[in-house]
Amino acid sequence: MKKNDLSSKTRIIMALLGCMAFLFTFFGCRHGYTALPVDQKIIALTFDDGPNPLYTPKVLEILEEHDIKATFFVIGRKAQASPEIVRNIKAAGHEIENHSWSHLFWLSSLTPQKIEKEICATQDIIFNITGEYPAFFRAPFGWTSDQLFISCQKLSLPVMDGSIKPGDTAMPGKDNIVSSILRRADPGAIIILHDGGGFWFYKNRSQTLEALPEVIQGLKDRGYTFVTIKELFDYHIKSARSPIIHKATFY
């Protein structure tokens, strides 16, 4: 296959995804919490779509080198395939949350039974591996529906999105990932990066790994302390500020 064929196919796929994002946005799709404003300079770093045998251990190494804690929104079927990585995330003191069982594009449009099966199966596998149930849910692609919110409310899982999405799965380049995070950092922001995932030719997370040390150091230099999602949620409640809930944006 020629390089041009690849790029034209990629363009078509990205255009289709963009159209779907547009439709979701204008038909009232909500995202859950996108940021939790607080009175202190704290920020949450989150990683989606793992565990990934190649990238997650490298992310863990970087986090350890910089002595910070992060939150991993893991995919249930991937956790089942790599339980030792999930155990390592937990042993290193990071937080593990629920990102659905199979990361379906159309999860939010499924029946309540199917949505809850995706969420509960992930709750169960994470509990079986770590001995602790996740306390938050993040929808695949951030796309939600009223039914998804009803199901999450029934399962006592707040829907947690993010406010800073540098689009690392589109591989925009290390510098763009770093600058888009540092430019938009503010107290209570939730950063979404990926230790797995990506479509077709975009499964390589090396740019994310390259950007991560600069992101962490840049935020530390600006006076930020890193907290997990649970910690941020607690700080937010004590700060008595309103959460920010945005409509859908595609990332």
Residues that are catalytic: 48, 194
* 46 close to 191: Cβ distance less than 8 angstroms: yes
The CA distance from 40 to 172, in Å, is: 31
Q: By CB under 5 A, tell whether 49 contacts Zn ion.
A: yes
Terminal-residue alpha carbon distance, the chain:
27
Q: Does 95 bind Zn ion (CB under 5 A)?
A: no
Binding of Zn ion at residue 168 (CB under 5 A)? no
Half-sphere exposure of 41 (CA within 13 A, CB side): 8
CA atoms lying within 13 Å on the CB side of residue 155:
27
Q: C-beta of 94: minimal distance to Zn ion in Å?
A: 17
Q: Is 48 in the site for Zn ion (CB under 5 A)?
A: yes
Contact range with Zn ion by CB under 5 A, out of 46-54, 168-176, 178-186, 241-249: 46-54
Considering the complex, state which of residue 135 and residue 218 has its C-beta at the smaller distance from Zn ion.
135
Pick between residue 218 and residue 250 the one whose CB is nearest to Zn ion.
250
Residue whose Cβ sits closest to Zn ion: 48
Query: Distances from the Cα of 169 to the Cαs of 124, 180, 206, 209, in angstroms?
Result: 27, 14, 10, 12
Closest by alpha carbon to 20, among 115, 173, 140, 152?
140
Q: Smallest gap, in angstroms, from Cβ of residue 234 to Zn ion?
A: 25
- The region of 26-34, 41-49, 149-157, 227-235 touching Zn ion under the rule CB under 5 A is 41-49
Residue 195: closest CA among 76, 93, 51, 62: 51
State the number of binding residues for Zn ion (CB under 5 A): 2
- When the beta carbons of 48 and 195 are compared against Zn ion, the nearer one is 48
Q: Smallest distance, Å, CB 99 to Zn ion? A: 6
Given a contact cutoff of 8 angstroms between Cβ atoms, the answer to whether 204 and 49 are in contact is no
Stretch that binds Zn ion, among 42-50, 88-96, 158-166, 233-241 (CB under 5 A): 42-50
Q: What is the β-pairing status of strands 30-35 and 244-247?
A: antiparallel
- CB of 169 vs Zn ion, minimal distance in Å: 8
| Residue 118 sits in the site that holds Zn ion (CB under 5 A) | no
Of 106 and 223, nearer to Zn ion (C-beta) is: 106
| List of residues contacting Zn ion (CB under 5 A) | 48-49
